[in-house]
Amino acid sequence: MKLTKKQRSELREMFGGKCAYCGCELPEKGWHADHVQAVIRKLEFSGRQPNGMRKIVATGEHFRPENDTHENLFPACAPCNLFKASFDLECLREQIAQQAERARLYSVNFRTAERFGQVRITATPIVFWFEKYSEQLNENAA
C-alpha cells in the first residue's frame, strides 16, 4: 500500500511524532510505516549477478494481503521495525526481553561492562510507547 504525503504525516503523528515501540522522536524522513500484524512480503531470487550472487527481490505481493490496511499501520523508527520483522506484538515483547541475556551469553564486551557496573540487567516489563501514550491520553481525558 502506498501512502500519500498527508496519510504519512498523519501516521507519523499518531503517537505524538514518536516511534510506536521505543518512543524515540521520528525524523521527517527515514522512519517506517510498520504493519502491526505482518503482511509478509513475497520475495523471489533474481538471476545470477556477474559475481555469482543472486539478489532477493520483492514481488509486491503479500502472503497476508488482508493485513495491508491503514488501520494496521504504526509509525516506527527503522531499528524497531527491522528488529520486529514479522513478529506479533507479544513475540516482539519476548524477543526484546531476551536481548540482554543474549548479549551476556555472546558478547565479552557486554560481560565486561556488566562486571564493572556499566550495564545492569533488569526484569522490567516491556511496555511499548503506544501503550504508554494511550494510557496518558486516557488519564488526561478522565
pLDDT at position 57 is 85
| DSSP annotation of 4 | P
pLDDT at position 46 is 80
**Per-residue confidence band for 134, with pLDDT thresholds at 50, 70 and 90:** very high
Section 102-117 average pLDDT = 97
pLDDT at position 72 is 97
Q: Give yes or no for a contact between 23 and 129, defined as CB atoms under 8 angstroms apart.
A: yes
For residue 50, give the C-alpha cell. Answer: 556477474
pLDDT at position 51 is 87
Burial class of residue 20, CB neighbours in 10 A (0-12, 13-18, 19+): buried
**DSSP3 helix / strand / coil % (the chain, rounded to 5):** 40, 20, 40
The Cα–Cα gap between 54 and 92 comes to 30
**pLDDT tens track for 51-94:** 888 888 888 888 898 999 999 999 999 999 999 999 999 999 99
Q: Give yes or no for a contact between 26 and 84, defined as CB atoms under 8 angstroms apart.
A: no
Q: For the chain, what is the domain count?
A: 1
More confident residue, 48 or 116: 116
**Per-residue confidence band for 30, with pLDDT thresholds at 50, 70 and 90:** very high
Domain boundaries, position 16:
5-141
pLDDT at position 53 is 86
